[in-house]
Amino acid sequence: MYGMEEFLNKEAYELSLGQKQRVTIAGVLSLKPKVIVMDEPTAMLDPEGKEDIKRIVRNLKNLGFTIVYITNVIDEVFISDRVIILENGKISGEFNIENILDNIEFLKEKGITIPKVVETMQRLNQKGIEINLDELI
């Protein structure tokens, strides 16, 4: 499913960070968990590696896994169903991903950098031009 066969006879030191992440995910899946927690799984990966991890997460969601995906990269929340903002160990905000454009100001208040494309989407939405987030992810 994820092309892990190519890593079967390799030593860990021969793998890239992205390959190590994929091997780690495969190891977790071998335990048949109901919930998978990923803490910044794309940290230090190149753009291709980040896309691979996001693709894997989307596939796992489609297979029915519950994924808790911890990130401080706003672009990565678009693979989520729900966004929860933690501040000093407490939930300071929560919303469904479909409502992200309604929460841009809240996110900015929390110090979260909003990509220009998301701000543009918000402006278009305010002018009555609906953006389907599913098409973007």
User: Domain residue spans in the chain?
Assistant: 1-73, 84-137
Q: Which candidate, 92, 93, 67, places its Cα nearest to that of 79?
A: 67
Give the architecture (CATH level 2) of 1-73: 3-Layer(aba) Sandwich (3.40)
Contacts of 81 (CB under 8 A, 6+ apart): 61, 96, 97
The pLDDT of residue 72 is 84
Q: What token pair was written down for 80?
A: 């989520």
Which position has the token pair 């997460």?
57
DSSP E strands in 65-114: the ranges are 66-70, 82-87, 90-96
The rounded distance, in Å, linking the Cα atoms of 13 and 15 is 6
The rounded distance, in Å, linking the Cα atoms of 57 and 59 is 5
More confidently predicted of 38 and 73: 38
The pLDDT of residue 1 is 46
| pLDDT tens digits, one per residue of 65-89 | 999 999 988 888 888 999 999 999 9
